[in-house]
Structure 1
Amino acid sequence: MVILLGFFAFKILPGDPVARIARERQMSPEQIAQLREQLGLDKPLLEQFWTYLGNVFTLNFGESYVYKRSVSELIGEYFWNTILLTGTSAIIAIALGLWLGQRAGWKHGSRFDKVTSGVSLVLWSVPTFWLALILLMIFGGTLHWFPTGGMRSPDAPDGFAGILDVVAHMVLPVITMVAVVYAQYVMVMRASVVEEMNADYITTARAKGLRDDLVRTRHVVPNALLPTVTLVFMHIGGLIAGAVTVEAVFSWPGLGKLTFEAISGPDLPLLQGTFVVFSAIIILMNLIADLVYRQLDPRVRRS
């Protein structure tokens, strides 16, 4: 299904890549026909699909219309930039969300629980691009606390100072991605903790004289983590695929920005390549979630 969608979904996008290239430079009708033949767009759709199908299994996505480079090389070059941004965001969002969720669930009904849940739901409801633009205008444009785009400054030095420069460029996009993602972990973890608190083994642990902190950390939290495992891995894959908006707003040189630029073409080989990569990451994360859950929960292994 991924391969099918990766081909046919982008074929119905409005816009003709050959017509766009022809607008950018003076081309005769003969040159336009030659370019269409060179790109393989003059062939029947089914023949184009079979060519695409054979290339996908050899990781050959063709040449980008815009960059005039191999799509596989572009993906390899920009992939790790996306992993750096989304990986950092995922670690922070997971740690923050699970910690706040278990505290809020343990103290459900308290002021801490109400504030945590309220803030989480508000941020969860905020459109990603809107929050990114607000942070960009306030902290980048008005206060000038952080860079407004890119991954490195043009005059960035090498070494440790260069690393700090990259970190400064990461602050606003990471905050954006964390703010709209961590709430999901908060709400799921909170609900799991509240449900576990009524279990018989919690009553037994308290009857043995264990302190509340030990009951929470040794008994409630490990069992409450089980429902969140699948969510965590699913959203790691989704976070990488959802980086398109953030990378486009902050001009972060990653797969998301590549995809955003390819849509305007449309740059079909580049769109198809990034779509397959994003889909493969999500499928892989779901597979890992199933395997990890099986190891964490003995009931799943027995069944």
Structure 2
Amino acid sequence: MNIRKYSGIYRYIGKSIVKMISLLIAVSILSFILVSLSPVDPIRAYIGEVGLANMSAENLAKLEAYFGLNTPPLERYLNWFTDFIRGNMGSSLIYRQPVASVIGVKFMNSMVLMATAWIFSGILGFTFGIAAGLYRGQWIDKVIKGYSLLIASTPTFWLALVLLMIFSVWLQILPIGLSVPIGVNAAEVSIFDSIKHLLLPALTLSVIGVANITLHTREKMIDIMEEEYILFAKARGKSRFSIIRHHALRNIMLPAITLQFASISEIFGGSVLVEQVFSYPGLGKAAVSAGLGGDAPLLLGIAVISAALVFTGNLIANLLYGVIDPRIRRGSVHG
């Protein structure tokens, strides 16, 4: 293996990782400041109004010391950050469990939901964009473009409520919410039950995520179809399928891949609202519960993990650029 040949790529990966770590630290600092400024009292959220009224001053002081409310904010952040890099994210006030355990369960639920929506939205958006650009000005282009513009301006929570009302309330073919049937033991839940509960939230996220990649791919397809080498291929009698496969596909895939991985942040943001509407026990719903309940350790852990997920998606997109397009790979070596 020629190490010098890939030295530029290794350098780029190293710089990207350092940049990502710096951004994660910045996210943790900003999140800690916002949590510290929150009007929600963690002690009141932890023990409730009745418990707080019946608590003695001595026990209240012990709880304040336990939560670190008597220590300066900088010292509190450094203590949290030191524990975090050691793998100790603290204990969740709401779930009464280690934050790492709570995030592990919620993260897997959200990953199944977001991955399903991400894959379907990418495939559908890419296909719709090619079809709209290929048949520019025709009825299929007008339908796809109109649909994309309508969906792009539709609030996620509103669409989730509409789909919930149609498929769960009126037609009653899909469950109203949650990730498993109510009253059923975890060991008795089948894969079919899980898919049935996943379908409506994933459909909502997929529909929302289709718009951007469809419109972007359409514009790119229109530009490519006007290039001279495409016109030359048409003059030689090549079919549309052959032109797309041999000439247009690679040029369309590059920006589409970047946009698709960049949409991870959009899908995660949409999942927060979707999980609330469908009561889906994922990371987004846990973040909302942590924010309303003053669960600072859980909220900080979710913020950092979510930021790491988004930054990793952007890094993968940039690396895939070099895999798909040799010109970019050569540029990274000589750069």
TM-score band w.r.t. shorter chain: over 0.9
The alignment status of 1:195 with 2:223, answered yes or no, reads: yes
8 Å contact from structure 1 (residues 294, 300) kept in 2? yes
Q: Which of the numbers 33, 39, 54 marks the counterpart of 1:14?
A: 39
Aligned to 1:119: 147
Tell me the alpha carbon deviations over residues 164-215 of structure 1, each in whole angstroms, 9 at most, x when there is no partner. 1111111211111011111111001101100101112112222332112211
Aligned to 1:74: 102
The 1:24–1:290 alpha-carbon spacing in structure 2 relative to 1, beyond 3 Å, is farther
Tell me the alpha carbon deviations over residues 102-129 of structure 1, each in whole angstroms, 9 at most, x when there is no partner. 0000011111101111111111111111
The alignment status of 1:168 with 2:196, answered yes or no, reads: yes
8 Å contact from structure 1 (residues 247, 254) kept in 2? yes
8 Å contact from structure 1 (residues 83, 240) kept in 2? no
Aligned to 2:83: 55
Higher mean C-alpha displacement, 130-139 vs 276-285? 130-139
- RMSD of aligned alpha carbons: 1.8
1:215 alignment partner AA:
I
Name stretches of at least 5 consecutive residues in structure 2 with no aligned partner.
1-25
8 Å contact from structure 1 (residues 61, 269) kept in 2? yes
Residues 124-139 of structure 1 aligned to structure 2 (within 5 Å): 124-139=152-167
The alignment status of 1:279 with 2:307, answered yes or no, reads: yes
Higher mean C-alpha displacement, 90-99 vs 50-59? 50-59
Tell me the alpha carbon deviations over residues 40-59 of structure 1, each in whole angstroms, 9 at most, x when there is no partner. 22211111011012122123
Q: Which of the numbers 55, 59, 77 marks the counterpart of 1:31?
A: 59
1:131 alignment partner AA:
L
The 1:158–1:256 alpha-carbon spacing in structure 2 relative to 1, beyond 3 Å, is closer
Using the TM superposition, give the Cα deviation of residue 14 of structure 1 relative to its aligned residue in structure 2, in angstroms.
Answer: 2.0
Tell me the alpha carbon deviations over residues 122-155 of structure 1, each in whole angstroms, 9 at most, x when there is no partner. 1111111111112222321233221111111135
The 1:242–1:95 alpha-carbon spacing in structure 2 relative to 1, beyond 3 Å, is same
Q: How far apart, CA to CA, are the structure 2 residues paired with 1:93 and 1:43?
A: 47
Name stretches of at least 5 consecutive residues in structure 1 with no aligned partner.
none
1:91 alignment partner AA:
I
Q: How far apart, CA to CA, are the structure 2 residues paired with 1:36 and 1:163?
A: 45
SS in 1 for 2:274: helix
Q: How far apart, CA to CA, are the structure 1 residues paired with 2:169 and 2:81?
A: 46
Aligned to 2:21: none
1:274 alignment partner AA:
I
The 1:24–1:277 alpha-carbon spacing in structure 2 relative to 1, beyond 3 Å, is farther
Using the TM superposition, give the Cα deviation of residue 280 of structure 1 relative to its aligned residue in structure 2, in angstroms.
Answer: 0.2
Residues 128-277 of structure 1 aligned to structure 2 (within 5 Å): 128-156=156-184, 162-277=190-305
The alignment status of 1:108 with 2:133, answered yes or no, reads: no
Using the TM superposition, give the Cα deviation of residue 237 of structure 1 relative to its aligned residue in structure 2, in angstroms.
Answer: 4.3
Using the TM superposition, give the Cα deviation of residue 219 of structure 1 relative to its aligned residue in structure 2, in angstroms.
Answer: 1.3
Q: Which of the numbers 291, 295, 300 marks the counterpart of 2:323?
A: 295
Using the TM superposition, give the Cα deviation of residue 156 of structure 1 relative to its aligned residue in structure 2, in angstroms.
Answer: 4.7
8 Å contact from structure 2 (residues 205, 270) kept in 1? no
Higher mean C-alpha displacement, 131-140 vs 253-262? 131-140
The alignment status of 1:4 with 2:32, answered yes or no, reads: no
Q: How far apart, CA to CA, are the structure 1 residues paired with 2:169 and 2:70?
A: 47
Using the TM superposition, give the Cα deviation of residue 158 of structure 1 relative to its aligned residue in structure 2, in angstroms.
Answer: 8.0
May I ask how many residue pairs the two structures share in their alignment? 303
Q: Please give the TM-score of this superposition, normalised by the length of structure 1.
A: 0.94
Q: How far apart, CA to CA, are the structure 1 residues paired with 2:189 and 2:78?
A: 49
Identical-pair percentage: 37
SS in 1 for 2:190: helix
Q: How far apart, CA to CA, are the structure 2 residues paired with 1:160 and 1:123?
A: 38
1:116 alignment partner AA:
I
